[in-house]
Structure 1
Amino acid sequence: MALLRAEDLTIGLEIDLGSYTVTTDEIVAFARQWDPQSFHVDVEAAADSYFGEVIASGLHTLGVLQRLAVLGVYQHWDVIAGRRIRSIELTAPVTGGTTLTGTLVVEEITNRGPERALIAVRGRLHTADRPVLDAVFEMYLRRTA
């Protein structure tokens, strides 16, 4: 199956990315390597923290969105490379046992020469009752000259 190119996308296209459940063990393991703050890695210290339990690093939460986006969308698009992350907003903590569901919305398509276009997408993660992450990414996709 051919990869989708920029001209195959439309502004406003919304794609369901599926879901992923984060475990406490995963939260601690990720944070030990990449964000070793006590409220991410130490269950006892986290019990006395603002949230009362271990919470996922924002970087971990962003990684969940990226994984869902790659498996659900990007592996089917003719991506050249990412350009930047315009914004990241973490709106609620993620704790062990939380199931995150993702969506991706195409917001902009700007041709950048005969063979590529700059695409802006908004990625969102939410639980059953609240949003936890909203981010806007830019990437280059191939387009047919």
Structure 2
Amino acid sequence: MSNDYYEDFSVGETYEFGEHTLTEDEIISYGEQYDPLPFHTDPDAATESVFGGLIASGLLTVSVAQRLFVENLLQGSKTSGALGVDELRWKQPVRPGDTLHVTCEVTGKDELEDGFGIVRFQLEIGNQSGSTVASLSTPVRYMRKHTT
């Protein structure tokens, strides 16, 4: 992929990338550090929850997607980073053994006067069954090739 600059993206383009399988240890470790709810940290207590078992924190799910997004699209490009996250939704629990991947669509572009532009991405985080487990949109700032 050679999407280094703002101009290298077109609205409607779609990218699919990554695979990361979450382990029970990874889910528990993240939960203990950052989201210590019983259904993220205690497999026995999680069976008594509305989820019926251990699930990943939604923030862990988004962190995995961010890593895949960076490794497969942003790394090495002329980006100065995302400006935020919009419309974040958790749609389905992520469980130990689930393998996550990302589908990313360019949904908009805006040129800025400072030699940069904003590329808007819609990310759908899916699992091995083809279900969408989370989604978000994010505007990312990219350097422009040609500024006038």
Common fold: TM-score over 0.5: yes
C-alpha displacement of 1:36 = 0.6
The answer to whether the 8 A contact 1:3-1:76 is kept is no
C-alpha displacement of 1:81 = 2.1
* Corresponding residue SS for 1:20: strand
Return the alpha-carbon distance in structure 2 between the equivalents of residues 141 and 88 of structure 1. 22
Matched with 1:133 is 134
Spell out structure 1 runs of 4+ moving beyond 3 A: none
Return the alpha-carbon distance in structure 2 between the equivalents of residues 52 and 94 of structure 1. 12
C-alpha displacement of 1:18 = 2.1
**Amino acid paired to 1:141:** Y
The count of residues paired between Structure 1 and Structure 2 equals 145
Matched with 1:54 is 54
Matched with 2:29 is 29
Return the alpha-carbon distance in structure 2 between the equivalents of residues 115 and 90 of structure 1. 35
**Amino acid paired to 2:52:** G
Matched with 1:82 is 82
The answer to whether the 8 A contact 2:31-2:37 is kept is yes
Return the alpha-carbon distance in structure 2 between the equivalents of residues 121 and 2 of structure 1. 16
Identity percentage of aligned residues: 29
Matched with 2:13 is 13
Return the alpha-carbon distance in structure 1 between the equivalents of residues 125 and 2 of structure 2. 28
**Amino acid paired to 2:102:** G
TM-score by length of 2: 0.92
Return the alpha-carbon distance in structure 2 between the equivalents of residues 138 and 129 of structure 1. 25
Could you tell me which runs of 5 or more consecutive residues in structure 1 were left unpaired when the two chains were aligned: none
Could you tell me which runs of 5 or more consecutive residues in structure 2 were left unpaired when the two chains were aligned: none
CA RMSD of aligned residues (A): 1.5
